[in-house]
Amino acid sequence: MKMDIKNYYKHYRDWEEYLYPNTYVLKNKLNIKDFDTLNIYEYSVTSDISGNLVNNKIENFEDYCNLHYNLFNEIYDWAGEIRTVNMGKGSSYFLNWKKISEYGENLFKDLREKNFFIGYNDNDFFENMAALHFKINDIHPFREGNGRTEKAFMKLIGLKNNKILDYSKINNELINSIDWLYGKNKDEFNRNILLEDMIAIYGQITINREIKGIN
């Protein structure tokens, strides 16, 4: 979960059915009602599961939702389901929930046309991964776990390209800050600067398996 979780929920009364009364804690299968306890448990479970997702199919948006289901099914009844409420972070808002399916399918149509970047040189790979990162973050299809699902997905694209993505090489707060600025700032010039920052991040975290001798 995000530590500024109040900013996700405070704008929309529709969220109340997903939260325990008088809290910002999502209802869960373990009936954990303490925010920090759920946060720790959630990260523990998803970290264990994420290492076993290398064979997950990622050809369409349904597969992306299944990836979220596999990560969070032990915790939430709605794992893998597209959110039916709107979400905002501070003064920045994610895609309206009614457009999620359409945008998700179009995103994967574009990915299939680009063959998931297979055969791209490193610079083109980094650029396309950075652009894809912002598109997925803007869609934000789930109530919770969007960042972890995206990272698992991006790692799978990396494997398709014989690359490993090591997110431990970068401070996650830096990625979150760039995401927030990109979502908030609609000016093309400033967005291009932020895109260059994200391209540099993907260059930093990407390892070519054949160069490193990784099997």
Q: Answer yes or no: is pLDDT of 212 > 60.
A: no
The residue ranking higher by pLDDT, 164 or 88, is: 164
Burial (CB count <10 Å: 0-12, 13-18, 19+), residue 142: buried
* CA distances for 160 relative to 56, 120, 127, 153, 215, angstroms: 11, 12, 16, 11, 13
What value does the mean pLDDT of the chain take? 89
At 111-121, the pLDDT tens digits run 999 999 999 99
Q: How far apart are CA 107 and CA 123, in angstroms?
A: 21
Classify 43 as helix, strand or coil. Answer: helix
For range 69-81, the mean pLDDT: 96
Q: Is the pLDDT of residue 58 over 90?
A: yes
Cα separation of 202 and 215, whole Å? Answer: 21
Can you tell me the distance from the alpha carbon of 102 to that of 166, in angstroms, rounded to the nearest whole number? 30
Distance of alpha carbon 192 from alpha carbon 212, whole angstroms:
31
Other Cβ atoms closer than 10 A to 148: 20
Indicate the pTM of the whole model.
Answer: 0.88
Domains and CATH numbers, the chain: 6-212 (1.10.3290.10)
The mean pLDDT value for 195-206 works out to: 98
Predicted local confidence at residue 1, as pLDDT: 39
pLDDT at 73: 95
Question: Which among 100, 101, 122, 207 is positioned nearest to 164, based on CA atoms?
Answer: 207
